[in-house]
Amino acid sequence: MKHLISLLDYSAEEIEQILAIAAALKSKLKSGKRPALLKRRILVQIFEKPSLRTRISFEAAMMQLGGSSVFLAAKDAGLNGRESLADVARVLSGYADVVAMRTFSQQLIGDFAGYARCPVINALSDELHPCQALADIFTMREVFGKTDGKRIVYVGDGNNVAASLAIISGHLGIGITVCTPKGYELKPAFVKDLKQRFPKLKLSTSHDPKKAVADADVIYTDVWASMGQEGEADERKQVFSPFQVNRHLMELAPAGCKFMHCLPAKRGGEVTDEVIDGPNSIAFPQAENRMHLAKGLLTWLLRGPQILERLQD
């Protein structure tokens, strides 16, 4: 049994398997086929944070695969202290075939997985967002054909999205620049561990977005204040304003550079309308691919990589 708590727990081969299954299932969907690979399987989602893409992409994925999905707010699941975490995990994993969790604490997901008897997916924590990173690379491969030799320039806060992009870049040989205001970088301990795990990682850091985007194949951004940081929003707006992705910044990048955003977007904040709605934006195909990636991930976790042979018949 395998969990998805962090992409650091995965190999490049396993990531490639998930991406390949997602691609095969998306291809079949385009031809009108929805193979019921997870018929009568049950997904339970437990969220401390509200969501549009994460919740619906997983629900739609499970339904298209022939399974069903149950949604629980954290208080409904008893994560507010009504029961011990161990008891909740043991009970829910007796009902479910797979559990997806969207929480503040990364530790909470790891602890839950330690008690669970079914696969547990980190659907987002304050530290990591592995499902988003998988969908992002899936999207880049659709656009560019391959990702090796490409460079992502992430402009904004060194948050969970940036961290997961850095991890998957290490696995797959992608270059990544993380461009942040001073004081908002990726955590030094995380970067140290990442470089030890991936000695060939093409990671660079910057505090100057105009210089950082000069070799970008993708410019990627996220909101300046994530959930739980609402009290910092005004301060962050002042600090991050020079890091807005607008037409002028896009013009400093190579002509074929694409724009990505994990959404939701604060239009007029981290990105302008003309960029996110412009011809170089792939933010909305990226959002759709959350569902296709979820299908690949759920199938891989519950049916194993060998299912790919059946999908290719």
Catalytic-residue membership of 222: yes
Buried/exposed code over 30-45 (b: 16+ C-beta within 10 A; e: otherwise)? eeeeebebbeebbbbb
- What are residue 43's DSSP bridge partners? 69, 98
259: which DSSP letter?
E
Residue 1 domain-assigned (yes or no): no
Q: Write out the residue range of the structural domain in which residue 224 sits.
A: 130-282
52 and 73 inside one domain: yes
Catalytic residue among 132, 157, 179, 217: 132
Neighbours of 272 (CB within 10 A): 19
239-254: per-residue pLDDT in tens?
999 999 999 999 999 9
59-113: per-residue pLDDT in tens?
999 999 999 999 999 899 988 788 999 999 999 999 999 999 999 999 999 999 9
Written as one letter, the residue type at 216 is A
Residue 227 domain-assigned (yes or no): yes
Residue 109 domain-assigned (yes or no): yes
User: Given CA atoms 111, 41, 126, 12 in this order, what sign does their dihedral have?
Assistant: positive
Catalytic-residue membership of 102: yes
Residue 2 domain-assigned (yes or no): no
Specify burial of residue 313 (Cβ count, 10 A radius: 0-12, 13-18, 19+): exposed
71 and 147 inside one domain: no
185 and 211 inside one domain: yes
Catalytic residue among 129, 151, 236, 261: 129
78 and 114 inside one domain: yes
Catalytic-residue membership of 3: no
285-307: per-residue pLDDT in tens?
999 999 999 999 999 999 999 99
Catalytic residue among 118, 217, 262, 286: 262
Catalytic residue among 3, 41, 102, 171: 102
Catalytic-residue membership of 290: yes
92 and 197 inside one domain: no
62 and 174 inside one domain: no
Listed residue (284, 296, 312) closest to 61, CA to CA? 296
Question: Distance of alpha carbon 230 from its chain centroid, rounded?
Answer: 21
Rounded Cα distance between 117 and 1, Å, is 8
CATH classification at residue 100: 3.40.50.1370
Residue 146 domain-assigned (yes or no): yes
Cis bond upstream, residue 264 (ω within 30): yes
Average of per-residue pLDDT values in the chain: 96
292 and 170 inside one domain: no
Rounded Cα distance between 112 and 103, Å, is 11
Residue 253 domain-assigned (yes or no): yes
109 and 165 inside one domain: no
Catalytic-residue membership of 87: no
Query: Parallel, antiparallel, or unpaired for β 151-155 and 120-124?
Result: unpaired
Catalytic residue among 55, 171, 261, 290: 290
What confidence score (pLDDT) does residue 145 get?
A: 96
Listed residue (165, 164, 172) closest to 200, CA to CA? 172
Residue 259 domain-assigned (yes or no): yes
Catalytic residue among 118, 222, 236, 292: 222
Residue 24 domain-assigned (yes or no): yes
Q: Is residue 73 a contact partner of residue 81, using CB atoms and an 8 Å limit?
A: no
Computed on alpha carbons and rounded to an integer, the radius of gyration of the chain in Å comes to 19
Q: Into how many domains does the chain fold?
A: 2
277 and 302 inside one domain: no
85 and 136 inside one domain: no
- H-assigned helices in the chain: 12-30, 53-64, 74-77, 85-95, 106-115, 130-144, 160-172, 188-197, 209-212, 233-240, 247-251, 273-276, 283-303, 307-311
Question: Distance of alpha carbon 130 from its chain centroid, rounded?
Answer: 4
150 and 229 inside one domain: yes
**Mean of pLDDT values over 149-174:** 97
Query: Comparing 26-30, 72-76, 156-160, 261-265, which segment has the lowest mean pLDDT?
Result: 72-76
User: Given CA atoms 92, 93, 94, 98 in this order, what sign does their dihedral have?
Assistant: positive
143 and 254 inside one domain: yes
Catalytic-residue membership of 129: yes
Q: What is the pTM of this model?
A: 0.96
Rounded Cα distance between 199 and 206, Å, is 20
